[in-house]
Structure 1
Amino acid sequence: MQPARPAIAVVTPSILTGLGLESILRRIIPMAEVEVYDRFERFAAERPDRFFHYFVASQTFVEHNAFFLERRHKSILLTEGAPHSTLRELHCLDIAQSEESLVRDILRLHQHAHRTGHPDAHAAAGGEPDRTSAAAPTALTPREIEVLRLVVEGLLNKQIARRLDVALTTVISHRRNLVRKLGIRSVAGLTIYAVTKGYVDAEQLGASE
């Protein structure tokens, strides 16, 4: 009896991203069964625990973080650009890089998963596993966490200043500190960080849209 083919899921609302990843995965891991889902609900209905890897779009990860964090050993977050060091505990794949680099990183991730039973986050990002433990980012202050939450909610600097009853320059200073401490500039990146660290409830984010 032939062993079952390893199954890989690509979960992204982007048709181009999904089809592109499917094509690459089928080419470099020909023994794998690759399934593409444009909605989490379709993916969840297809016995998701049978998949060896989940390649997940950032927004889908944020909206259903409880599911993917519980299965972080097999979940790979699709990023557009190099993943931030603050997301080191997540397994990330930069889909904005060249196809050659993307293929290399997927192969490293897949090979590492078979050696150890789970993919290493840094290896998935295109480097060797980091055994020296880079310094953790400086802890955020309570006020910086407040600002982070409001940024993730979609408020502008002036709105945050009004909400916290502080000067606009104070908000700008806090946001500058967030960038310096976390190394994350985009709201999408801050959202993923905030959800992962438990600063923001992803269900509330979905309800506010």
Structure 2
Amino acid sequence: MENLEIAIIDANTLTCMGLKNLLEKLLSGAIIRTFPDFPAFADDTPDMYTHYFISSQTYILYNPFFLPRKEKTVIMMHGAGTHTFPASNHIVNIFLPEQKLTEELMKFFSDNPENMERLPAEEDLSAREIEVLILIAKGLINKEIAEKLNISLTTVISHRKNITEKLGIKSVSGLTIYAVMNGYISPDRI
């Protein structure tokens, strides 16, 4: 496990210290640095790290950086449940008991990438469904979407139904987070 350089990016000092302590016990010789926020991390040399452990909030805010690096990125989740994160992201539930958390962390450093926990893949959205999703994220209602895309209101409703079924996300806020996290729209365009 030599030559591993790991960045932990989270505003929660205890989370950073605890995860760093666990990783140091598991990975002798690894270099582990903690950062309170993304700007502090960006001031370092971000691409030198083999893994990034980040909070879900950091992922949402800075996904233009992390999305193309998702193989190296591990999102620290606060408990289990339904997630609006893109498929194939690596996740770790930091509310697990120490022994189980240790086992989960080791999966990220095994030679077998199949061991890594990933969120299940959702069905792909069509190009038109992505257009509708972007307009939903921008706050447009069905009638406005129909006018903007020059399609019928019934077609918009059908696309929305397909999107929510494929993604398993029903709320506008959940769809908006999904659109941002998948890079369909940047947070400043919402």
Cα RMSD of the aligned pairs, angstroms, is 4.0
Give % identity.
33
Matched, 1:100 2:85: no
Higher relative contact order (CA 8 A, sep 6+): 2
- Residues 7, 191 of structure 1: alpha-carbon distance in 2 compared, 3 angstrom cutoff: farther
Matched, 1:160 2:158: no
- Asked if structure 1 preserves the Cα contact closer than 8 Å seen for 2:90 and 2:118, the reply is no
Question: 1:53: how far off?
Answer: 0.8
Question: 1:68: how far off?
Answer: 1.8
Q: Which one of 125, 138, 162 corresponds to residue 117 of structure 2?
A: 125
Cα distance in 1, alignment partners of residues 176 and 102 from structure 2: 27
Cα distance in 1, alignment partners of residues 176 and 77 from structure 2: 13
Question: Given residue 65 of structure 1, which amino acid in structure 2 is its aligned partner?
Answer: N
Matched, 1:137 2:120: no
TM-score by length of 1: 0.64
The secondary structure found in structure 1 opposite 2:141 is helix
| Structure 2 unmatched ranges of 5 or more | 148-154
- Structure 1, 95-104 or 40-49: larger mean CA deviation: 95-104
Q: Which one of 21, 42, 45 corresponds to residue 43 of structure 2?
A: 45
Corresponding pairs, count: 185
- Residues 138, 52 of structure 1: alpha-carbon distance in 2 compared, 3 angstrom cutoff: closer
The secondary structure found in structure 2 opposite 1:110 is coil
- Asked if structure 2 preserves the Cα contact closer than 8 Å seen for 1:160 and 1:171, the reply is no
Cα distance in 1, alignment partners of residues 101 and 174 from structure 2: 20
Corresponding residue number in structure 2 for 1:182: 167
Q: 1:11-69 deviations in whole A, cap 9, x for unaligned?
A: 12333432332232223224322211121111111112222210122222233223223
- Asked if structure 2 preserves the Cα contact closer than 8 Å seen for 1:108 and 1:124, the reply is yes
- Asked if structure 1 preserves the Cα contact closer than 8 Å seen for 2:92 and 2:117, the reply is yes
Question: 1:105: how far off?
Answer: 1.2
- Asked if structure 1 preserves the Cα contact closer than 8 Å seen for 2:77 and 2:94, the reply is yes
Q: 1:60-113 deviations in whole A, cap 9, x for unaligned?
A: 2233223223323312222342675973332222334443332211101111xx
- Asked if structure 2 preserves the Cα contact closer than 8 Å seen for 1:6 and 1:52, the reply is yes
Corresponding residue number in structure 2 for 1:130: none
- Asked if structure 2 preserves the Cα contact closer than 8 Å seen for 1:94 and 1:125, the reply is no
TM-score by length of 2: 0.69
Cα distance in 2, alignment partners of residues 110 and 178 from structure 1: 35
